[in-house]
Amino acid sequence: MLPALNLAGDVVVVDRVSVRFGQVTPRDIVLMISPEDPRKWLVKRVVGMQGTPSPTLSTPATATPPPEPS
């Protein structure tokens, strides 16, 4: 799989409001501060959400049940 972003030339426009209202969906790209080094940003693509089917190469698509409330 090729990277979603290239280090040379790609520009990222950030919407800081959507995540506060729970509007993150699969295929979105999310920026976050690294928990290991607060001076660095992490960029990740959302591949699935809790409770939705998550296909893999070795198994067919299955739904992951949400965890029980503690």
Instruction: Give the C-alpha distances (Å, rounded to integers) separating 64 from 50, 53, 61.
Output: 7, 7, 10
pLDDT at 47: 82
Instruction: Give the C-alpha distances (Å, rounded to integers) separating 2 from 5, 6, 64.
Output: 9, 9, 26
Q: Are 44 and 23 in contact (CB under 8 A)?
A: no
Instruction: Provide the residue ranges of all domains of the chain, joining segments of one domain with +.
Output: 13-48
Q: Are 13 and 30 in contact (CB under 8 A)?
A: no
pLDDT at 65: 66
pLDDT at 66: 66
Give me the residues of the chain with pLDDT under 70, please: 1-2, 19, 54-66, 70
